Structure 1
Amino acid sequence: MDRETKGLWLGLVGVVIFSMTLPATKMAVSDFGAVPLSFYRATIAGLATLIYLLIKNISLSKRNGLPTLAIISVLISFVFPISIAMAMQNLPSSHGGIVLGISPLLTALFATLRFGERPSRGFWITAIIGSGLVIAFSIKQSDGTLQASDIALLLSAASASHGYAEAGNLSHKMGGIAVISWVAIIALIPSLPIAIYYLTQAATSITPIMDASLQAWMALIFVSVFSAYVGNIFWYTGLSMGGIAHVGQVQLLQPFCTLALSSVLVFEPLTISNIFFASAVLIVVAIGKRMPVIKVKT
């Protein structure tokens, strides 16, 4: 298996994990609240990272990218989860998954603007067609209009895509595990005191945090450990091995993985229309993988 193909497979594992983020957030947000949930998530992710590094005796000696890591941390650990949590208060997770389908195109755009990757015209055509398909599906699901909460989803797509491009590039120098570990630890600095504040407030509220359902707690643990950390190890490593633009295309599959998981986890309907659009995007991704992307060393 060549390096690029291995990168695509690693990226796919990351995408499957990320596909559960919206349904899990939907399950947790009503019990914890959008903003507190996001800070609980960052805190648990940071603490889990520290425990993992201690158990494995991993030393994060490379820290020359700290300014970039701080930017990634803000985008991935705060802007993205807060935006999707706010959207999931009003929208089905399946709808959110489709709107986030523009992320691969945005990831390729950030890679081009920031790091000199030069996708071919054919690549851009397939990326635009794939993104057009998911946007068309989103509009179809919303009876011809985008809802107000879609703005929050678009913000989350932009923040995640920018963060992915930065992290994928930095992973060339530091490795995927080091990048996401630094991101989680940096996020822990502001998230821990804020999470403690929300816990204190929740303890005196009408609905204490300990009254949250088991389902909500399991969802919180998932988005904290898997969405915020484990999934990103696969994703960042895949981006660094296979190229940001090419592996980013695999993310086109994420909306349809989310649709399938939403039907199982939160009982949202999976229709023939869903399957049709999923098949169309699979074809576009397969074609896009064959389109050349010139990788410029940074």
Structure 2
Amino acid sequence: MAEICISKVEENTTQGWLNGMIGVLLFSGSLPATKIAVLELSPMFLTAARASIAGVIALVVLLFFKEKRPDRKQLSSLAIIALGVVVGFPLLSALALQYVTSAHSIVFLGILPVATAVFGVIRGGERPKPVFWIFSVIGSLLVVGYAVAQGLTASPVGDILMLAAVVFCGLGYAEGAKLTKTLGGWQVISWALVLALPIMLPLSFFYKPVSVEAISTGAWLGLAYVSVFSMFIAFIFWYRGLAQGGIATVGQLQLLQPFLGLAVATSLLHEAVSLDMIAVTVGVILCVAGTKKFAK
């Protein structure tokens, strides 16, 4: 009997890693796709449109499966999630990509696991060891130092916007991971999208392009990717992975996202990836690995 239970736990953990990895792979294309779209679409329209498209899909899925509505306490958490990953990160990252390349912005994703952990402390009441915060500060300083060093060629405005975007994303990840335990993985992002839909749908029409015909196919494909994959499907795998394999364990897969994102940026956008970018990304990942080790 004990062997059966252990086998089921191991199987569930393996499925969690697999789902989490799929989620990270899909997330890795988000910033390059956003860069392609924001070259021709305004950040406000892009943010509202991606949330609206994903929100309509989420609403259909929720109605199809006849999901029970969240209670009042869960609605509060869903509002925080919507603020973080439906509005905050998409809008701020889209604004940032008007000033910097997607390869440059991807470096900032190296501190996303730390931001998630910080909000895990604030929202979840966790108490990491002091060593955790040492690694966290070093990682943050690496990113800030890189941004300052690039001051002549990169935009300070873009860097500040990306830092803010990461903070909002970390908030949404931590709150979503906590709520997944009671509401379910795919239900969390679905209800968050539906909650934002009454606001985002009118805004998407208000900020729509003057001439739709003038927008290239590439820009529409970028919008389609961030709407269907980044905003909805990736979160289904990601939150399911967190629920199956454990938040702390599966959350380490985020460490691969900067590398995967840089690979996408170079292959699709032909953006230059300097040795400095790679070095900072590696340094940040090592620091985040340290924070994960001493998270509890």
TM bin (shorter chain): 0.7 to 0.9
AA aligned opposite 2:76: P
Distance 1:148 1:282, change over 3 A: closer
- Deviations along 1:193-214, one digit per CA (max 9) or x if unpaired, are 1212233xx3xx3xx0232111
Equivalent residue, structure 1, for 2:82: 73
Does the 8 Å CA contact 1:10/1:235 hold for their aligned counterparts? yes
Change (3 A) 1:44 1:272: same
* 1:23-82: CA deviation from partner (whole Å, max 9, x where unpaired): 11110012111111111111111112233445xx32221412112112211221112111
Amino acid of the structure 2 residue aligned with 1:176:
G
Residue deviations 1:216-249 (CA, integer Å, cap 9, x gap): 0110000001111111112222333444444444
1:255 and 2:258 aligned? yes
Measured in 2, the distance between the counterparts of 1:44 and 1:72 equals 17
Structure 1 equivalent of residue 183 of structure 2: 174
Give the CA deviation at 1:13: 2.4
Q: CA deviation at 1:259?
A: 1.1
- Give the distance between the partners of 1:266 and 1:177, measured in 2 at CA: 31
Q: Residue 279 and residue 105 in structure 1: after superposition, are their counterparts in 2 closer, same or farther (change >3 A)? A: closer
- Cα distance, 1:282–1:85 mapped onto 2, change above 3 Å: closer
Residue 60 of structure 1 pairs with residue 67 of structure 2: yes
TM-aligned CA distance change 1:165 to 1:215, over 3 Å: same
Aligned equivalents of 1:83, 1:280: Cα separation in 2: 25
1:1-298 pair list within 5 angstroms: 1=10, 6-53=15-62, 57-64=64-71, 65-142=74-151, 147-199=156-208, 202=209, 205=210, 208-279=211-282, 291=293, 293-294=295-296
* Cα distance in structure 2, aligned partners of 1:244 and 1:146: 34
Aligned residues: 285
What TM-score, normalized to structure 1? 0.84
Q: Which whole-Å CA distance do the structure 2 matches of 1:158 and 1:242 have between them?
A: 24
Identify the range of structure 1 (275-284 vs 169-178) with the bigger mean alpha-carbon deviation: 275-284
Supply the RMSD in Å over aligned alpha carbons.
2.7
Q: Is the 8 A contact 1:105 1:249 kept in 2?
A: no
| Structure 1 residues 47 and 265: alpha-carbon distance in aligned structure 2, compared to 1, 3 A threshold | same
Could you tell me how far 1:153 is from its partner in structure 2? Answer: 0.9
**Kept in 2: contact 1:126–1:285 (CA 8 A):** yes
CA distance in 2, matches of 1:59, 1:128: 45
Distance 1:184 1:177 in 2: 11
1: CA distance, partners of 2:151 / 2:256: 20
AA matched with 1:193:
P
What is the identity, as a one-letter code, of the residue corresponding to 1:60?
E
| Gap runs ≥5 in structure 1 | none
Q: Secondary structure at the match of 2:67?
A: coil
In 2, the alpha carbon distance for the partners of 1:212 and 1:84 equals 20
Which one-letter code corresponds to 1:185 in the other structure?
A: V
Matches of 2:165 and 2:281 in 1, distance apart?
22
SS in 2 for 1:269: coil
The CA deviation string for residues 74-115 of structure 1, in whole angstroms up to 9 with x for no partner, is: 221112111111111111001111123221111101101211
Unaligned residue ranges in structure 2 (runs of 5+): 1-9
AA aligned to 1:250 is: L
Query: Counterpart amino acid of 1:153?
Result: M
- The alignment's TM-score, normalised by the length of structure 2, stands at 0.84
Pick which of 123-132 and 45-54 moved more.
123-132
* Equivalent position amino acid for 2:106 in 1: G
- CA distance 1:216–1:134, change in 2 (3 Å): same
